[in-house]
Structure 1
């Protein structure tokens, strides 16, 4: 079936087949050519994370139109930092995307420590600059698409109130964790979380276009430099997604490296490089501004908390096949809780002075 779809896409897109590049969680990818231009053709999988993927026109168009918008914004912020060509076709018979080929994924295992830091710094700088590009969309949150409204945020209303309610949920989740696992209870963590919540209330002004997925497999390098692909854009508090990046590279990828989703990357064997990417990222993102760095670290603390809380919640559920692929068995999930507990304490103790320093003056 995929070969039939591939042939149809090649004809429809007007490209020639070159070679199979590989597969991600959701798409197969081929390197193709149109005249002298090298492109990447992606076709969605029929089965992803162990379950069938049904055709959903609005979902596909939201994903692909969001990617197109994010690539445009990145290139406005820093030319060449995203594919300069991106098109997509969505129908029940044939769905695919076509974009500029920009080289190979970064290889954390073979790169030097200096290169890891530099890559992180470039990604941080690009993402910070991209946040300043007006996105022109209404609403906030994850993106949705409809024939009537086109691309927009899924949520409406007062985004500041939404952030306020989200912050309350973070603090409530910590209390729930402490009741179920008393080892999580720590006065420094509790204080740091309160400070992070206060910091985000002060720092947040308006929702901006952000990217939730800048994992190593989505960072490419070629003769033209670094390129970000396969974005997962949304419209929200920008420091939150910066904190998400820090949590992914300093904790999440390493802790979940043995899961079916991440095992092929062997993240546990390059943990030091991942952490250097994170150090570079916050350096590039903050551009030497201590307050911005503190705001990002506060959001990282909240993201780490939610990583622990989501693991705790999974222990009381019947795990679907998709969940097992993403997180592993219940035994593996439970074994991570003490790790997250210690990392939460370490991060809180290392950042509390900075969080205190930048609190609003009474």
Structure 2
């Protein structure tokens, strides 16, 4: 007789707790992909995470190499962050991957951010710490071969999914950004705007002229992955990739100044009520840019250019979703119905124009 999902989940949890040698599990909550428990081991407070059986509305099939890549990348990112700013990521992280049960075990990093309770000034201080952590982590050598999303094979171990030179990759990506804008303009005439066009040309030219060393950077710095240990920030549950550092700083700015509020009513984000925390999110973004640039205006310019491209790509993603005959359950959880996606596409069109106009002097 086959077990129910609940029975299978419980059995895997019991095996993981026993294998990890931990006691006193207290349920902390669930993320999109993992459930988390606060546990004790040798007098230390730790967090045990177990992959969920169902994520984004569909069963998760066991994929050894994908889990190894995710957890090995997380371990490397935590090590890099702690080399840059001691204590800014969990200093202990271990994992176990098998078809029978899988888990990660890491230091307890602190309490989650409570955005609604924060003043804009407190939010800005948190952002400044994150910006400094990103800036200093960019300088840490990582020795991962390749670029882009990280993969695992037993032979090559952790490596980037793309080969080649970062500078060439950035130039090709810039050409894609400009082509995506042309497509949006051809499909929705509302996107056509001289200032946006001028700013996109300036932003792509700026990044094409940069020679940057690929860094190990974090693509997922949502508020739920930022903990406070006293007043100190601790970053958890990253999505590390090997990429141009300014690109990920621009991604952070887009998330906090545009994306989270624009998607606040989706099933994925509605419990966070980001629409009620716009001031705090913007405070985090302002602080981040100050901490990341450390007073260097040319860095501000580069990050703002990348942010513009991120807004563009968020809009283009919405266009691609509308081209699908039918949305998957995961798409609906992340982005809502086609009606909601259409409405948001034009909100993003306005955001793109406003951003281009307001940042004209910065590029």
Same fold (TM over 0.5): yes
Residue among 344, 347, 361 paired with 2:355: 347
SS in 2 for 1:326: helix
Alignment match, 2:3: none
What are structure 1's unaligned runs of at least 5 residues?
356-362
Alignment match, 1:334: 342
SS in 1 for 2:36: strand
Structure 1 residue 349: Cα displacement: 1.4
What is the CA–CA distance in structure 2 between the aligned matches of 1:61 and 1:268, rounded to whole Å?
Answer: 36
- CA contact 2:304–2:362 (8 Å) conserved in 1: no
Q: Deviations over 1:189-227 (max 9, x none)?
A: 001001100111122322111000111000001237210
What is the CA–CA distance in structure 1 between the aligned matches of 2:292 and 2:208, rounded to whole Å?
Answer: 20
What is the CA–CA distance in structure 1 between the aligned matches of 2:166 and 2:89, rounded to whole Å?
Answer: 29
SS in 1 for 2:361: helix
Match runs of 1:138-149 below 5 Å: 138-149=145-156
Q: Deviations over 1:106-136 (max 9, x none)?
A: 0100111111000011101101100100001
Q: Deviations over 1:248-288 (max 9, x none)?
A: 01111000000000000000011111111111110110001
- Root-mean-square deviation over aligned CA pairs: 0.9
What is the CA–CA distance in structure 2 between the aligned matches of 1:40 and 1:108, rounded to whole Å?
Answer: 22
Q: Which moved more, 1:126-135 or 1:224-233?
A: 224-233
Alignment match, 2:167: 160
- CA contact 1:80–1:224 (8 Å) conserved in 2: no
Residue among 87, 94, 99 paired with 1:92: 99
Provide runs of 4+ in structure 1 moved above 4 Å.
none
What is the CA–CA distance in structure 2 between the aligned matches of 1:158 and 1:30, rounded to whole Å?
Answer: 41
What is the CA–CA distance in structure 1 between the aligned matches of 2:188 and 2:307, rounded to whole Å?
Answer: 21
Matched, 1:281 2:288: yes
What is the CA–CA distance in structure 2 between the aligned matches of 1:74 and 1:214, rounded to whole Å?
Answer: 13
Alignment match, 1:115: 122
Alignment match, 1:80: 87
What are structure 2's unaligned runs of at least 5 residues?
1-7
- CA contact 2:166–2:244 (8 Å) conserved in 1: no
Alignment match, 1:223: 230
What is the CA–CA distance in structure 2 between the aligned matches of 1:321 and 1:174, rounded to whole Å?
Answer: 28
Match runs of 1:2-41 below 5 Å: 2-41=9-48
What is the CA–CA distance in structure 2 between the aligned matches of 1:192 and 1:103, rounded to whole Å?
Answer: 41
- CA contact 2:85–2:133 (8 Å) conserved in 1: yes
Q: Deviations over 1:131-155 (max 9, x none)?
A: 1000011101010011001101111
Q: TM-score, normalised by structure 2?
A: 0.96
SS in 1 for 2:27: strand
- CA contact 1:116–1:276 (8 Å) conserved in 2: yes
Alignment match, 2:158: 151
- CA contact 1:40–1:99 (8 Å) conserved in 2: yes
Judged with a 3 Å threshold, the aligned counterparts in structure 2 of structure 1 residues 216 and 198 are, in CA distance, closer, same or farther, namely same
Q: TM-score, normalised by structure 1?
A: 0.97
What is the CA–CA distance in structure 1 between the aligned matches of 2:300 and 2:211, rounded to whole Å?
Answer: 14
- CA contact 1:204–1:237 (8 Å) conserved in 2: no
Residue among 208, 216, 219 paired with 2:215: 208
Alignment match, 1:297: 304
Q: Deviations over 1:284-339 (max 9, x none)?
A: 10001110011000000000000011111111111000000000000000001221
SS in 2 for 1:353: coil
Residue among 188, 191, 194 paired with 1:184: 191
